[in-house]
Amino acid sequence: MSGQVLITGGAGFVGSHLADELLAKGYRVRAYDALVLQVHGERCKRPHYLADEVELVHGDVRDGKRLKDALRGVDYVVHFGAAVGVGQSMYQICNYTDVNCQGTAALLEALAQSPVEKLIVASSMSVYGEGRYRDRNGEIVEPVGRFRRQLEARRWEVLGPDGSELTPVPTPESKHASAPSVYALTKYYQERICLTVGPAYGIPTVALRFFNIFGPRQALSNPYTGVLAIFASRILNGQPPLINEDGRQQRDFVYVKDVALACRLALESPNVDNDVFNVGSGKPYAISALAMDLARLLGQPELEPEITGKYRVGDIRNCYADITKARTRLNFEPRYDLRSGLEEMVPWLDGQTAKDNVAEAFRELSRRGLTV
């Protein structure tokens, strides 16, 4: 396959890696990006890592006229443009709702006038809330989450109706959505409205639920980005990573080049249209173990994580991907595990400088009553 691809948010972390993947396969790439301060820093100019072959259009995803112009000659659209951050979304409610929801609506209105061959929308594992669990009788359950009284007592594990601890298991796409934050709600809105409007205008649409993405080019000075980049920012500044709860919560970490591969496969795969797919590694990792591994690889093993014993509103305990559907329908197979991804990422980190804004973000959340 070949053709012109428009990537909203295409100058960012994941968008730039997808651009590399597509260019290598003969596609032409146009990136549409607002170059926001929190992600791109004060210069807000074309990032040096964005391939020279990528045509960059500077524009806001809510600007319908600008989008219409950017869609000229485009065959495929990958929609990454979004405000990202669970904690921040809980107090920048208008901004997250406006950028993520109104921005996606503006894109769809533009696409209704200029339909394309396929639309890929970036969703998120956050739409699940808690992942799936197994109770002590071996039954699969989908708990609603944890209650404030339990968290105030520092009982972190997810409990069944009888008060017994549940065991996390892989989470498939069939799990009911239970979005616990404004960010999660907006990502669920994005995938649902794309899967509603796209097919109505004859545009095959695929939603990809990304789990925790890591790799080079993450915005290290953004305290609301991925947890691994947040840890790296602290370690590069000689500070221990800050971890909520007890550090035993589990997540699925997927390397950014595997995410780019999954996006290309979704563009090219037949018979996957108008459906949803998990994109992850399929493996759980404890947050505290991740922090210690990263500190070791960066040559600062003495920076053991600082366990805060606090809970952030909107956080979940455990969730990792069941990628069976992506394997069988998209032919997606992760090429990196956490260790090999970190080993490729660390040389890039060694050359970076990062302003540590993490403690300030913690204070902001605490001031607003969003930590327990």
Query: 38: domain CATH number?
Result: 3.40.50.720
Residue 112 lies in a domain: yes
* Structural domain that includes position 347: 4-367
Domain count, the chain: 1
Asked whether 211 and 223 are in contact (CB, 8 A), the reply is no
Residue 353 lies in a domain: yes
User: What is the structure's pLDDT at 37?
Assistant: 82
**HSE toward the beta carbon, residue 289, CA cutoff 13 A:** 11
User: What is the structure's pLDDT at 301?
Assistant: 94
Taking the CA atoms of 270, 274, 279 and 283 in sequence, report the sign of the dihedral they define: negative
Residue 219 lies in a domain: yes
CB burial of residue 20 (10 Å; 0-12, 13-18, 19+): middle
Residue 372 lies in a domain: no
pLDDT, mean of each 10-residue run, the chain (372 residues): 94 97 98 90 85 97 97 98 93 97 98 97 97 96 89 93 94 96 97 98 98 94 85 93 95 98 97 97 96 95 94 92 98 96 94 82 86 83
User: What is the structure's pLDDT at 46?
Assistant: 93
Residue 90 lies in a domain: yes
User: What is the structure's pLDDT at 8?
Assistant: 98
Per 3-state DSSP, what percentage of the chain is helix, strand, and coil (rounded to 5)? 40, 15, 45
Separation between Cα atoms, residue 22 and residue 12, nearest integer Å: 15
User: What is the structure's pLDDT at 361?
Assistant: 83
CB burial of residue 353 (10 Å; 0-12, 13-18, 19+): exposed
Q: At what angle do helices 287-297 and 338-350 cross, to 10 degrees?
A: 50
Nearest partner of 281 among 261, 315, 248, 258, judged by Cα? 258
Start-to-end CA span in the chain (Å): 51
